[in-house]
Chain A
Amino acid sequence: DAEITQSPRHKITETGRQVTLACHQTWNHNNMFWYRQDLGHGLRLIHYSYGVQDTNKGEVSDGYSVSRSNTEDLPLTLESAASSQTSVYFCASSEDYSAEQYFGPGTRLTVT
């Protein structure tokens, strides 16, 4: 069965370190997204990609970057982790703009 996975599921890191969160989907979807979820804010879009070599900034992109070298993967990098980036991160993919997004299980990141 097709799926979308994220790793690690939990991560504790120190302020200033570079961190990369992995997202892998086997749906063969062109569209992939990264969101963060914080209490009182719902989910907010960080970055998104509509295909290989395409990346775009979302609502809360400062301090994050992504790259898309193949269809299956969209890793999210925190260049220099900050305590404000402590959050739960969700990756998602969709077939097209009007289709539902399938979400990964989430990564809980704590920056100390």
Chain B
Amino acid sequence: AQKITQTQPGMFVQEKEAVTLDCTYDTSDQSYGLFWYKQPSSGEMIFLIYQGSYDEQNATEGRYSLNFQKARKSANLVISASQLGDSAMYFCAMSLNYGGSQGNLIFGKGTKLSVKP
């Protein structure tokens, strides 16, 4: 069965510093996608970044990058130059690219990031 593990329930980072949020995943499938979403206190789910299992380059989107280590089954999110507005809950998620449940997201339990001024 597929599973996403986020081992950091909460983290603090100083403004303008970089922070890494950990995510490990478990699947025996070869074709899958990894996603990160941000959920601020207002409650909406905001898509941040996507990495396909066959992508050789790590995905980047502005200040967000995904450190993809396939052999270790990890997909850590790196936020550079943290801002106060980055304070939020962050969810790692995975989807399979084939089969009866293709495209369905399996979420981790999230990491609450707090950025200190």
Contacts and interface: CB of A to CB of B under 8 A. Distances in A.
Interface string B80-106: 000000000001010111101111111
B104 A43 contact: no
Given A45-B104, A48-B104, A58-B104, A97 B45 contact: no
A42 B107 contact: yes
Contact of B103 (A43, A44, A97, A106): A97
Nearest to B48: A100
Contacts of B44: 103, 105-106
Contact of B45 (A40, A45, A90): A90
A56 B107 CA distance: 18
Interface of B: 33, 35, 37, 43-45, 47, 50, 52, 91, 93, 95-98, 100-110
B33 A98 contact: yes
Interface of A: 31, 33, 35, 40-45, 48, 50, 56, 58, 88, 90, 92, 94, 96-103, 105-106
A56 B44 CA distance: 25
B43 to A, nearest CB: 5
A98 B97 contact: yes
B97 A97 contact: yes
B110 to A, nearest CB: 6
A100 B107 CA distance: 13
B107 A94 contact: no
A38 B94 CA distance: 19
Given A90-B45, A103-B44, A105-B44, A96 B103 contact: yes
Given A88-B43, A101-B47, A106-B44, A94 B35 contact: no
Contacts of B35: 100-101
